[in-house]
């Protein structure tokens, strides 16, 4: 009975309950959250680089830029204690992403240098298995929020309603990513990074 009532709010706890072994859960926690920590670290580096580009005249080093970024992010991290309290932040983040895409597409379209005839081979020349796997892992990582699913369900009044979220989020993300990729390719972006197609200037730094 104690096992049936075990807390399963994290992937580690679920693994421990399934394997009936605490050390198995500890290993999963170290692997999952260790990998997540590396991913979040890359986001912090991106945030620091963005601040450096925005404040390019200040000569700010990457360490200072990341530190300032952490201080800014500390405010919502401290204030938001439950998942439901992050709804406004999520909507704000969505609007920010839409605004960035709009500015990027506009700037790229205005400065586009497309030829009247563009050859688009079915398979890119020089494509290697490592490039394919690298692109595939980016797609997988975009959807790889599984490590937080149990934690999200733990905060819900009816955890059984959690699968309903995928009815909305799944098709929305696929359609959104596809539109961004197709529009970017149409505008002449030939890189996996949309910003690589933007010329240097205020929109790019913003």
Taking residue 150's Cβ as centre, other Cβ atoms within 10 Å add up to 18
Rounded CA separation 8/3 (Å): 10
Tell me the pLDDT of the chain averaged across its residues: 76
Judged by average pLDDT, the poorest of 40-44, 113-117, 141-145, 186-190 is 113-117
Task: Tell which wins on pLDDT, 15 or 119.
Answer: 15
Q: What's the pTM value of the predicted model, to 2 decimals?
A: 0.59
Task: Give the torsion sign (CA, 182, 186, 191, 196).
Answer: negative
Confidence (pLDDT) at 116: 53
pLDDT of residue 44: 83
DSSP string computed for 93-133:
HHHHHHHHHHHHHHHHHHT----S-----SS-TT--HHHHH
Could you give the C-alpha distances from 4 to 11, 16, 23, 26, 100, in angstroms and in order? Answer: 16, 12, 18, 19, 47
pLDDT confidence of residue 146: 67
Q: What is the pLDDT of residue 76?
A: 79
Note the pLDDT of residue 55.
80
């Amino acid at each position: 009975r104690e096992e049936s009532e075990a807390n399963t709010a994290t992937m580690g706890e679920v693994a421990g309950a399934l394997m009936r072994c605490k050390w198995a859960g500890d290993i999963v926690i170290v692997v999952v959250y260790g990998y997540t920590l590396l991913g979040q670290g890359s986001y912090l580096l991106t945030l620091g680089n963005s601040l450096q580009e925005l404040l390019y005249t200040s000569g700010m080093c990457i360490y200072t830029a990341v530190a300032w970024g952490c201080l800014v992010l500390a405010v919502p991290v401290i204030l938001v204690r439950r998942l439901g309290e992050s709804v406004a932040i999520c909507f704000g983040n969505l609007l920010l992403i839409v605004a960035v895409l709009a500015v990027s597409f506009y700037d790229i379209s205005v400065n586009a240098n497309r030829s009247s005839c563009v050859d688009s081979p079915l398979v890119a020349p020089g494509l290697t298995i490592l490039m394919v796997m690298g692109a595939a892992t980016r797609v997988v990582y975009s959807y790889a929020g599984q490590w937080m699913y149990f934690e999200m369900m733990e905060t819900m009044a009816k955890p059984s309603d959690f699968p309903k979220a995928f009815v909305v989020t799944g098709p929305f993300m696929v359609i959104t990513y596809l539109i961004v990729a197709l529009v970017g390719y149409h505008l002449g972006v030939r890189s996996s990074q949309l910003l690589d197609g933007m010329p240097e200037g205020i929109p790019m730094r913003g």
